[in-house]
Structure 1
Amino acid sequence: MTTSVLPAANGHHGLAAHEVVLLLETDAHHGLTNQEASERLARYGPNTLPPAKGAGLLMRILSQFHNPLIYVLIASGVITAALGEYVDSSVIFGVVIVNAIIGFIQESKAEAALEGLRSMAQTQATVIRDGHRRTIASDDLVPGDLVLLEAGDKVPADLRLTRLAELRINESALTGESVPVTKDEVVLPEAIPVADRHNMAYSGTLVTTGSGAGIVIATGAETELGQIHRLVGAAQVLDTPLTQKLAGFSKILTVGILALAAATFAVGLIRGYDAVDTFTAAVALAVGAIPEGLPAAVTITLAIGVARMARRRAVIRRLPAVETLGGTTVICSDKTGTLTENQMTVRIVWTPGGAYDVTGSGYAPDGDLHNAAGTEVSVDADQALRWSLLTGGACNDAGLTQEDGRWGITGDPTEGAMLVVAGKAGLGADQVKTLLPRVATIPFSSERQYMATLHHDTTSGAAHGQVLLAKGGVERMLELSGSQMDADGTVQPVDREAVLQAAADLAGQGLRVLATAMRPAAGPDDFDEDGLPGSMVLTGLQAMLDPPRAAATTAVAACHTAGIKVKMITGDHAATATAIAAQVGLLPRSDATTGMVLTGADLAALPAEDFPDAVDRATVFARVSPEQKLRLVEALQARGHVVAMTGDGVNDAPALRQAGIGVAMGASGTEVAKDAADMVLTDDDFATIEAAVEEGRGVFDNLTKFITWTLPTNIGEGLVILAAIMFGAALPILPTQILWINMTTAVALGLMLAFEPKEPGIMTRPPREPDQPLLTRALMVRILLVSALLVAGSWWLFEFERTHGASLAEARTAAMNVFVVVEAFYLFSCRSLTHSAWSIGLFSNRWIIVGVTVQAIGQIAITYLPAMNTLFGTAPIGGDVWLRILGIAVAASLVVAVDKRLRRPA
């Protein structure tokens, strides 16, 4: 375990740089000596994250069998083996082993989240040791090391910055901040959140522009990244609603089967039957009551759901997560990269002559500019607009890239956005460089609050003319500007109030606003920072934001229609988060948002007893830390919600792991987020979550249909055995025949329900209540009703055939076929649990027809093939018997149809 030198590793931002140097016993210019660095490495350990502590391999394997349903299956395998049915026993044990293997593999994948975090910290670092610049492995960094940072570097440890030059760092993966943070050396209050600690650089973040140096104050587990690592490791991986419901269902089923078998054995002994024969009958009852096909049906149904989701660009990493989506009651969505494009885009360009809307989003230079009337405009129609775009494109250090058809940027995202909007107006980067080749630069700094460049001006044909361009914060640019440009190119005194009002209106929409200005220059001697104030000509304002995804609004509305709450949890500023939330329909487009927007500071100030209620009411959570994201998910789960958490950054990983289902972004997400998640969106689109929820609901419907279909057979078989014992009659069906029914019908008939298409209106109904049992009261009544029909029909036909001279084998064959044929008819009814089979289309699931055909061939074989007769104790039956079997099946179907009609929701 590594530690920092100071006991309070989080307090370095509250100390002056020289105090940190003294406390860490280092040198701000020469760094540590090699000897001291070696001693500290031995004392504090390498700059790596510790391996996760988990259960051993044997315990992880054994845990896969720790489930009541698995116990029932193992008992079923033992019983069938004892009965001499070794093939059936092998099949049952095969199902147990396959399920254990799948569970073990999926669990191993989930543990990869911690490995992803460790690999993220492995990089190279440039340090000063013994006064010399050296490149070392980041693993060898120790507290007190002096680290140098350049554009493009990944920060190798937590640093207190000591000197910097125009340093900006992209911290979005750690904090959720969508814009690179400008760093400075100013001492900050100790209570300030991580996202606002501008004098710090944190492990795993990326330097976008500038350079700097800093003292290592924390390594390994003591870094902010290390704290997230601990949160991921500590987050509880909850059972999914499906596994919880199946576990509860299996416990009830186990108790019921054992009780019924015990009752059968007791009744037989009381009636004076032979103990061995009675025990055999009780075993037959237990075998009949066990739904051997259920685990296979669950696995196959979930696998089909996985395949369907993959076609809709959602990759499932854990099978039960398919169904969890269908039961989701709350989606906690990250803002940056999830609801938004994670690509800064200029949306409005304001000039003294008017405002222009910009179409298109992201970094692709595709779009147009439109005036207030909605008419597309050319830059030649407004000279202020033209010079504002030229300034944004030329006074700029970013670059546009295109790889595999995907546009991106190098450098600062805000500068990239200004390049893109210039390109949309026909002023591409190459053209701008040709028109305005750069001569000199005054770089941006946090103190200066603007960037200025000097260019040769070839735009007017004057080969030797020069022009000075500048861009920066609105108020700072107003200090530099004494005049403003009109649409026709004339210059007027600057209207300061109008500019400030326009900037305020744009900022109120959650837009980041930069101002542009220009003026002709006499030459390099005219490019003097002291001579800029009051000399520039303001050309306009460019307002940008990380725009919402095109389908986000529709997807959010669809989730609301489906009764699913959507909450935004982000590390970005409250104003930006509120604006995006209003645009995608999470918040009303008004000021009536009291209590709906909470910041990290608000959450920290909430009393513990008020926290869950406040979280449930609020919709937007801004400026929150990773610990708070995790606490939010836990609070919602404590309120009984099934929570889906989306995210793409390192800061999202603990909450992704804690949530009922973690959803990571595939294209822009970090490997840490993907490894911690249960589902990965290949297109990073929030709308894909809606599609996945729809598929998840369909999966749960099909599982419920299978269970509703299979249980009557198991219960009916058990009750037939019990009735035979109670009345002292011969068994209507034998244990081997019961196994034939259970195994063949589960595969040929029941599994066909896994291919059932989603029913209409699946996304207009509310989500299932988290505490709702697997089977509702109405479905339990239907299951018992069909069980009773199976018992009555098979018993009646068995006695009827015996009375009319049929042999015992013939009567049992008739009774066995009653079970199978009634099951086949009932299968069509179970295709919809509320509507009639005719209303959903007889051939909308052609696999049902295939399954019934295969089962029919199997029944003919077991009834008429001599080898099958010998193996299963069956005998051929006549056509009149088949007519009676069909009559029982039709009567049972009519009774079920009447029950379904009476119980159909209004």
Structure 2
Amino acid sequence: MVEAVHTAVAGRVRYRVAGLKRAPELKKLLEFRLSRTPDVTHVSASDLTGTLLVCFNSGNTVEGLAGRIAAIVEEYRSHGGGLAPGDNPGKEAGWLDTVPGLTPAYEAIKGLFALGGEQPREPWHTLTPEEVLARFGTSPDTGLSAGRAREHLTTYGANLLPESQPRSSWEIFFGQFQSLPVALLGAAAGLSLLTGGVVDALLIAGVVVANAFIGYKTESEAEKTIRSLQTQVRPTALVIRDGRMSEISAAEVTLGDLVVLRPGTYVPADARVVAAHHLSVDESALTGESLAVTKTEQPLVGVDLPLGDRRNMAFLGTTVVRGRGSGVVVATGLRTAFGGISTQVREVGETKTPLQGRLDSFSRVIALAVLGVTALVVLLGLLAGEAPRTGSEYARRFTWARAAEL
């Protein structure tokens, strides 16, 4: 059921778990349960490959973790989680709702993938650290209390950005037929069929379908690879709650959390810096600035300062490169600066890349050129007294001219 496939690196093991493929609920359960196992430092499961990566300290063993994973999988199956879609149609809610022992943080996150309540919007960079801390009831020494953190998670929602929906298999397949050359080939095949050229029509249709299957295979594999890479990245954050520093999932970070900023740390949300000691942050992912920005805890003047000039703010998606400090989270999810950009991109909709645009233009030029050559060949044949004797002969010339495009 559970097989350790990579154990060469001490403290790091990859398991192959039977039943994990195409089981997103089992994936979530494994990650949440194992991440709360003592001395486990990192967990990443993939329901695409059916594998589970676990990093752990000396308090655990490969065999012990395998037993723990097997117990979780058995519990999952005992609740009917292993049923295929449609085998249990009367079950409307996810079975995870009935599993005891999940942490309060997960209970708060579950179902909060929507936007949550409205978050306060203030010019945080113009306020002093004391004002920001007081606004959220955060202590500079002990951070938020666990109870207040759960309350904020329930009120404001999880710290998540909505993921784009992957295209369905049918959408990818039928998308292969949405081009001018393929449309002309289809017209040629239809014309051949109407004029008695059944063999020609079948040959053209075979070429078009084969081309579609090749395109479908290539694009579907690319989609799976992208989704697999997304599931492998599980950012975490260092926060201080109830006076203790702990590493939690970035999705559990909420307004008022006191985030610890160290070299190499991923900034999990927009935060007002309240302590900075030679702190520098790489903001190239957000502003395009190639040089690291030195941060300060002092308030700034000017409500409408550009993001790049707000030197007392740390933004979601940026990375600490040197120094140390801490910040109070003031925006999460779509309310962050990065989330605002994400919203604008989604509103624009899906657009073609420059390469796709040039390929479409090239296809139109080729199609027009072939049509012109076809007309010229027919005209020269008429002038030379070699006119086709039947409609099927006209269709055959048009058909093979279209086939030359592919």
- TM-score of the two chains, using structure 2 as the length reference: 0.59
1:203 matched to 2:294: no
The one-character-per-residue Cα deviations of 1:124-146 (angstroms, maximum 9, x if unpaired) are 21111111111112121111111
Deviation for aligned residue 1:157? 1.4
Asked if 1 retains the 8 angstrom alpha-carbon contact of 2:181 and 2:367, the reply is no
What do the CA deviations read for 1:95-126 (whole angstroms, capped 9, x no partner)? 44356557767877998999699779841211
**2:247 aligned with 1:135:** yes
Counterpart residue number, 1:30 = 142
Q: 1:710 to 1:54 in 2, by over 3 A?
A: same
How big is the shift at 1:91?
Answer: 2.8
> Can you list the C-alpha shifts for 1:379-421, whole angstroms capped at 9, x where unaligned?
xxxxxxxxxxxxxxxxxxxxxxxxxxxxxxxxxxxxxxxxxxx
1:51-90 superposed matches below 5 A:
51-52=163-164, 58=170, 61-62=173-174, 64-66=176-178, 70-90=182-202
Give, in angstroms, the shift of residue 64 of structure 1.
4.9
CA distance in 1, matches of 2:345, 2:232: 14
Determine the C-alpha separation between the residues in 1 that align with 2:306 and 2:223: 29
- Structure 2: distance between partners of 1:109 and 1:8: 42
Higher helix content, 1 or 2: 1
1:755-790 superposed Cα distances (whole Å, 9 cap, x missing partner): xxxxxxxxxxxxxxxxxxxxxxxxxxxxxxxxxxxx
Q: Is the 8 A contact 1:3 1:222 kept in 2?
A: no
Aligned counterpart, 1:567:
none
Match of 1:14 among 92, 111, 126: 126
Which one of the candidate residues 191, 205, 230 is aligned to 2:304?
191
- Work out the CA distance in 1 between the residues paired with 2:124 and 2:218: 41
Instruction: Tell me which residue corresponds to 1:529.
Output: none
Query: Which of 333, 338, 356 pairs up with 1:225?
Result: 338
Contact 1:123 1:137 in 2 (8 A): yes
CA distance in 1 between partners of 2:303 and 2:218 (Å): 42
- The equivalences for 1:252-291 within 5 A come to none
CA contact (8 A) 1:169 1:181 kept: yes
TM-aligned CA deviation for residue 197 of structure 1: 0.5
Alpha-carbon separation, structure 1, partners of 2:298 and 2:192: 76
Structure 1 unaligned residues grouped into runs of 5+:
242-317, 325-699, 724-728, 755-906
Letter in 2 for 1:144: G
Q: In the aligned structure 2, how far is the partner of 1:74 from the partner of 1:745?
A: 12
- What amino acid is the match of 2:315? Y
1:235 aligns with 2:335: no
Report which of the two structures shows the higher radius of gyration computed on alpha carbons. 1
**What letter matches 1:90 in structure 2?**
L
Corresponding residue to 2:374 among 713, 724, 744:
713
Distance in 1, Cα, partners of 2:116 & 2:233: 16
Contact 2:295–2:313 (CA under 8 A) maintained in structure 1: yes
Aligned pair count reads 291
Q: Distance in 1 between matches of 2:147 and 2:393?
A: 81
Distance 1:208-1:54 versus aligned 2 partners, 3 A rule: closer
Structure 2 unaligned spans of 5+: 1-113
Q: 1:39 is matched with which residue: 151, 154, 159?
A: 151
**Aligned-pair distance for 1:14?**
2.1
Q: Counterpart of 1:213 in structure 2: which amino acid?
A: S
- Kindly tell me: are residues 99 and 237 of structure 1, through their superposed partners in 2, closer, same or farther at Cα, counting changes over 3 Å? farther
Indicate the residue corresponding to 1:500 in structure 2.
Answer: none
Q: From 188, 212, 215, give the equivalent of 2:328.
A: 215
> Residue 388 of structure 2 is aligned with which of 729, 732, 735?
732
Contact 1:142/1:219 (8 A) holds in 2: yes
Instruction: Pick from 161, 165, 170 the counterpart of residue 277 of structure 2.
Output: 165
Distance in 1, matches of 2:232 and 2:342, equals: 11
The residue identity in structure 1 corresponding to 2:374 is T
Q: CA deviation at 1:75?
A: 3.5
Distance across 2 between alignment mates of 1:103 and 1:208: 42
Counterpart of 1:184, as a letter, is T
Return the offset for 1:31: 1.4
Q: How does 1:443-842 map to 2 (within 5 A)?
A: 700=362, 704=365, 707-708=368-369, 711-714=372-375, 716-717=377-378, 732-738=388-394, 740-742=396-398
Q: Report the secondary structure of 1:233's partner residue.
A: helix
Range with greater deviation from structure 2 (50-59 or 160-169): 50-59
State the Cα distance separating 1:161 from its structure 2 match: 0.7
For the structure 1 residues 238 and 123, does the alpha-carbon distance in structure 2 shift closer, same or farther, using more than 3 Å as the test? Answer: closer
TM-superposed CA distance for 1:166, in Å, is: 0.9
Partner amino acid for 2:320? V
Whole-angstrom CA distance in 1 between matches of 2:228 and 2:298: 34
Counterpart amino acid of residue 211 in structure 1: R
Deviation at 1:744, TM superposition (A): 5.4
- Matched residue SS, 1:204: coil
Judged with a 3 Å threshold, the aligned counterparts in structure 2 of structure 1 residues 121 and 227 are, in CA distance, closer, same or farther, namely farther
Conservation of the 8 A alpha-carbon contact between 2:191 and 2:395: no
Letter in 1 for 2:157: G
Counterpart of 2:158 in 1: which secondary structure? coil
- 1:208 Cα shift? 1.3
Native 8 Å contact 1:166 1:182 kept in 2: yes
Residue matched to 2:289: 177
Counterpart for residue 11 of structure 2: none
1:237, 1:19 → 2: CA distance? 42
Q: Deviations over 1:132-182 (max 9, x none)?
A: 111112121111111101112121211111111111111122112122111
In structure 1, how many angstroms separate the alpha carbons of the residues matched to 2:253 and 2:210?
Answer: 46
> Partner letter of residue 133 of structure 1?
M
User: 1:50 and 2:162 equivalent?
Assistant: yes
8 Å Cα contact 1:49/1:118 also seen in 2: no
Q: Is the 8 A contact 1:203 1:224 kept in 2?
A: yes
Inter-CA distance 138–167: structure 2 relative to 1 (3 Å threshold): same
Give, in angstroms, the shift of residue 52 of structure 1.
2.3
SS at match of 2:342: helix
- Match for 2:313: what amino acid? M
CA distance in 1, matches of 2:115, 2:364: 49
Q: 1:59 to 1:116 in 2, by over 3 A?
A: closer
Per-residue CA deviations over 1:505-533 (Å, capped at 9, x if unaligned) read: xxxxxxxxxxxxxxxxxxxxxxxxxxxxx
Match for 1:204: what amino acid?
Answer: G
**Could you say if the C-alpha distance between residues 37 and 94 of structure 1 is closer, same or farther in structure 2, counting changes exceeding 3 Å?**
farther
Q: Secondary structure at the match of 1:190?
A: coil
What CA distance in whole angstroms lies between the structure 2 residues aligned with 1:193 and 1:105?
A: 45
Q: Is the 8 A contact 2:294 2:311 kept in 1?
A: yes
Q: Secondary structure of the residue that 1:41 maps to in structure 2?
A: helix
SS of the residue corresponding to residue 162 of structure 2 reads coil
Q: Distance in 1 between matches of 2:236 and 2:352?
A: 40
Question: Would the aligned equivalents of 1:114 and 1:229 in 2 still touch at CA under 8 Å?
Answer: no
Shift in alpha-carbon separation, 1:120–1:202, aligned structure 2, 3 A = farther
Distance 1:22 1:52, change over 3 A: same
120-129 vs 159-168, greater mean Cα deviation: 120-129
Counterpart position of 1:873: none
- The 1-side partners of 2:343 and 2:219 are apart by 18
Letter in 2 for 1:128: I
Cα contact 1:2–1:44 (8 A) shared by 2: yes
